Structure 1
Amino acid sequence: MSLSRALRDSSETLPANTDRFLEHVPNEWLNAAAELSSQVTIRRRRLPSDQVMWLVLGMAFFRNKPIAEVARSLNISADGLANEQMLAKSALTQARQRLGAEPMQCLFQQSGKHWGVERYPQDDWHGLQVFAVDGALFRTPDSTELRSHFGSGNTSTDRQTPFPMLRCVALMNVRSHVIVDACISPYRRGEVPLAMPLIHKLPDHSITLLDKGFYSADLLVSLASSGVDRHWLLPARKGLVSTVVEDYGAGDRLVEMKVSPQARKKNPSLPESWCARAITYEVEGKEKTVFTSLPASVYTAKAIAELYHQRWEIELGFRDIKSSMLDNAIVLRSKTPALVYQELWGLLLAYNLIRREASQAAVEHKRAPQEISFKFACQFIAAELISLSNNPSPGTTGRRLADLRGSLGMLFKENRPRPSRPRSVKLSKTRYPVNRNAAPLK
């Protein structure tokens, strides 16, 4: 029995407050996503599209298992056909190719739309919801097709990184760590163009934290003017030329900056100059300056300086994806561009499922969502998925789902200082081809 079918069959017996996974991935989401597949089929000799979507989700939960083993663990098969026949590697690959990437993207965006803007107790900062935008790179297997499509870290010479890379820019709820939306593209596209569509997904009365790489008059002016009481906060760029318009006090001033001709050429509606509030403060003897659209009449410089350090929460979210879910794997497992996109959308959807369930469990235990250990929550929910999919008795499914959030309450992290770990060094670029079959050095 498939996981989706077990949940559907038991839906009538589930109490409203134990309808866990059904509230996460409603049937209408699955149906709408399946309709996006250009080659959706109902022929019995092929895997139904909803089961293929669960297979892609399973790939995210069980990174170290072969895809065929993932299908066996989740009891995925076509009705009336031998299990082994449908679990052949070629059959699973063909099923994923028929499904395509759009259904998984649709499911992920539905999850972000509904869960990413949810409010939790003590969620707001001075009445504003806190979000963050940042980018991350993912590597793919090295093949001519993938390198041609995604590109890599090329320089002005022939040097390039050993693996093709794709870029993901995400908008994340800082409190729950749920990803509201994301844009995925080949490496050659920059972070600022990918971030532009995301600002329209921000709710009103919010503050968005960004890295200095997102300094763009077009992006920041559009963010602040696209809704009601939407603000931004990011560190100042070094060497930026500005003029002080008004002084609010020590380390707090309003500055004016010119908009570059290149930016105005791309967007003629931009003004010739724009203003931002600049706040300078000291950290361990070093001066730091941040720019923001928050007005001085409402928000103090000290509160804003403290708020910016929460931008690191989105870095922790990317770390959870790469470390806990991908198990520090160097590359994604898919070998064609379409399946790479599909795998990554499935990975983001699985991440949101874990974060949403952890956030809801935290609320029941009157704790903050980020206090639950993501690694252990991921392992726990993965084990529950296997138990549900292999449970022959739908009557016991309700009880197991009812116990899920109560069990997640055991996964809260201890309140201890986070250890200091240096950031990983980027892959070095080389002008020479990399021999994957070379013998290791002795």
Structure 2
Amino acid sequence: MEVGFFVSLQQTLFDIDDLHSFSDLSTFAQHIPVEWVESALHLSSAATIRRRRLPADQVLWLVLGMALFRNEPVSEVARRLNICAQGLASDRLMARSGVSQARQRLGAKPVEWLFRQTGAVWGQERYPGDDWQGLQVLAADGAVLRTPDNAALRAHFGSGNTGTDRQTPYPMMRVVALMNVRSHVLLDAQLSPYRRSEIRLADDFIDRIPDHSVTLFDKGFWSADLLLGVAAGGAQRHWLIPARKGLVSETLQTYNADDQLLQMRVSPQARKRHPGLPATWDVRAVSYSHKGKRKTVYTSLPAARYDTDAVARLYQERWEIEVGFRDIKSSLQHNAVTLRSKTVSLIYQEVWGLLLGYNVIRREASQAALAHGQAPARVRFKFAYQYIAAQLIVMAAAQPLSRTGARLSELRAGIGHLFLDDRPRPSRPRSVKMSKTRYPVNRQAAPLK
């Protein structure tokens, strides 16, 4: 993707009539190749040759537009981006039911597939200076998104219980993602109802962790079968995770006062799930001081090659995935209380579109940073997103058929002014932003799977 995605996307929206017209748009194919779009649309369970106001290929981009214009009604997003079948009046507001029906016909699978394809290709791209001692730096973590509260969504997604007779006021979807912390592009993600555990969701994408990488985990991912699976699944695939209290270990070797090699037992539960696991496993424990507190991280990085201080400093980069989730919730979602869709299938479609939109913005920001000799993570996501969203509307109205190259230069030049300064990020303690409600709690809820 050597030129901006968004301009070519807008150009495409004006010109397409059916899927075959994609193959004639060479500029578009440089960004999201035609093969990706065709493969995604083949997954739609309601393929049809009927000429509709919103054909499936354009509904795919409507879902992406929903992620970029969260505060606009879906029908208004379609009108603003001029998404309609060629030959039909584009300035007429589409019926809300027609847009919903078009989204239902498309389904979630094409959007999910397209997101995964962008993650597989863009997430492993290397930028100058973004490696850590020859390893690509990744992070895995989870977040929750709230859905509107209706019987079908609460039955499917569930909600969080507390120690009192209360539960969360909205059903919640769990998201677990794998991120390239240097470019902030998501390599992969898993979605599920709330009661599915983060560890089991992470199991589904560890096979996609690239070789010659180190993955930073939150302490909630402590699991021998997960971490051993990361290390054994490829060449030079390492992990780093905070120590947990109460773990029993035996010291095998002491490298220095802050660095030891420990041996731990693999739990019977883990060996029951994965009979091939060993009875014990060795982990390296690195300790350091942070804001007057003593902290320890466990890792598979060998002491002979990666020194104590470097490993301790590396774990601080895990915060970058928290920044990514903040960008999605705060910037793209505008801190909305819930997602906008009202049915289970459209909730999944909306979230896959949200993750796809996030990746598209991060990819374009990374390319702009590269053009300006900056690190991709230094681009301000919020301002880059706002700038690109505003340009989308302008370009949709202008239809710049002959000025694509000039528009691309203008777009990246504008993003080039949106870099972060070198001031340290302020420390803001986490706080509970929503109180619990007095919904009755089912104490016989199913256990985590």
Q: TM-score, normalised by structure 2?
A: 0.91
1:162-173 aligned at under 5 Å gives the runs 162-173=169-180
SS of the counterpart of 1:213?
Answer: helix
Q: Is 1:271 matched with 2:253?
A: no
Q: Is 1:122 matched with 2:129?
A: yes
C-alpha spacing 1:3/1:42, structure 2 compared with 1 (3 Å): farther
Paired residue total: 429
State how far apart, in whole Å, the 1-side matches of 2:88 and 2:394 are. Answer: 22
Which of residues 352, 360, 363 is equivalent to 2:359?
352
Percentage of pairs with the same residue: 61
Worse-matched range after superposition: 384-393 or 372-381: 384-393
Structure 2, unpaired ranges of 5+: 1-8, 441-449
C-alpha spacing 1:82/1:89, structure 2 compared with 1 (3 Å): same
2:183 corresponding residue in structure 1:
176
State how far apart, in whole Å, the 1-side matches of 2:162 and 2:187 are. Answer: 33
C-alpha spacing 1:270/1:365, structure 2 compared with 1 (3 Å): same
1:437 corresponding residue in structure 2:
none
Letter paired with 2:420: K
1:214 corresponding residue in structure 2:
221
Instruction: Give per-residue Cα distances to partners, 1:53-81, cap 9 Å, x unaligned.
Output: 11111111011111111111101122333
Letter paired with 2:68: F
Letter paired with 2:119: G
SS of the counterpart of 1:63?
Answer: coil
Work out whether residues 2 and 51 of structure 1, in 8 Å CA contact, stay in contact via their aligned partners in 2.
no
1:59 corresponding residue in structure 2:
66
1:231-250 aligned at under 5 Å gives the runs 231-250=238-257
**Cα shift at 1:428:** 3.5
1:23-102 aligned at under 5 Å gives the runs 23-83=30-90, 87-102=94-109
C-alpha spacing 1:336/1:10, structure 2 compared with 1 (3 Å): closer
Q: Is 1:281 matched with 2:288?
A: yes
State how far apart, in whole Å, the 2-side matches of 1:325 and 1:10 are. Answer: 28
Work out whether residues 14 and 82 of structure 2, in 8 Å CA contact, stay in contact via their aligned partners in 1.
no
1:137-152 aligned at under 5 Å gives the runs 137-152=144-159
State how far apart, in whole Å, the 1-side matches of 2:181 and 2:407 are. Answer: 30
State how far apart, in whole Å, the 2-side matches of 1:300 and 1:398 are. Answer: 47
1:186-335 aligned at under 5 Å gives the runs 186-335=193-342
**Cα shift at 1:426:** 5.5
Worse-matched range after superposition: 95-104 or 379-388: 379-388
Instruction: Give per-residue Cα distances to partners, 1:300-353, cap 9 Å, x unaligned.
Output: 011000000000000000000000100011100000010000000000000000
1:4 corresponding residue in structure 2:
12
State how far apart, in whole Å, the 1-side matches of 2:309 and 2:85 are. Answer: 60
1:374 corresponding residue in structure 2:
381
Work out whether residues 10 and 398 of structure 1, in 8 Å CA contact, stay in contact via their aligned partners in 2.
no
SS of the counterpart of 2:388?
Answer: helix
Work out whether residues 2 and 77 of structure 1, in 8 Å CA contact, stay in contact via their aligned partners in 2.
no
**Cα shift at 1:83:** 4.0
**Cα shift at 1:200:** 1.0
State how far apart, in whole Å, the 2-side matches of 1:13 and 1:92 are. Answer: 26
**Cα shift at 1:416:** 1.4
C-alpha spacing 1:167/1:245, structure 2 compared with 1 (3 Å): same
**Cα shift at 1:6:** 4.0
SS of the counterpart of 1:334?
Answer: coil
Work out whether residues 117 and 180 of structure 1, in 8 Å CA contact, stay in contact via their aligned partners in 2.
yes
Work out whether residues 203 and 226 of structure 2, in 8 Å CA contact, stay in contact via their aligned partners in 1.
yes
C-alpha spacing 1:22/1:206, structure 2 compared with 1 (3 Å): same
C-alpha spacing 1:85/1:40, structure 2 compared with 1 (3 Å): farther
Which of residues 401, 415, 419 is equivalent to 1:412?
419
Work out whether residues 2 and 76 of structure 1, in 8 Å CA contact, stay in contact via their aligned partners in 2.
no
Work out whether residues 211 and 234 of structure 1, in 8 Å CA contact, stay in contact via their aligned partners in 2.
yes
**Cα shift at 1:155:** 4.6
2:391 corresponding residue in structure 1:
384
Instruction: Give per-residue Cα distances to partners, 1:403-439, cap 9 Å, x unaligned.
Output: 2212211111222121222223164433347xxxxxx
Instruction: Give per-residue Cα distances to partners, 1:237-288, cap 9 Å, x unaligned.
Output: 0111111111111121110111111111111111111110001111122110
State how far apart, in whole Å, the 1-side matches of 2:255 and 2:434 are. Answer: 45
1:440 corresponding residue in structure 2:
none
Work out whether residues 169 and 439 of structure 2, in 8 Å CA contact, stay in contact via their aligned partners in 1.
no
Work out whether residues 245 and 254 of structure 1, in 8 Å CA contact, stay in contact via their aligned partners in 2.
yes
**Cα shift at 1:10:** 11
Letter paired with 1:263: A
State how far apart, in whole Å, the 1-side matches of 2:10 and 2:409 are. Answer: 20
Q: TM-score, normalised by structure 1?
A: 0.92
SS of the counterpart of 1:105?
Answer: helix
1:125-136 aligned at under 5 Å gives the runs 125-136=132-143
SS of the counterpart of 2:143?
Answer: strand
1:438 corresponding residue in structure 2:
none
Letter paired with 2:106: L
Work out whether residues 22 and 34 of structure 2, in 8 Å CA contact, stay in contact via their aligned partners in 1.
no
Letter paired with 1:398: G
Work out whether residues 380 and 418 of structure 2, in 8 Å CA contact, stay in contact via their aligned partners in 1.
yes
Letter paired with 1:4: T
Work out whether residues 358 and 372 of structure 1, in 8 Å CA contact, stay in contact via their aligned partners in 2.
yes
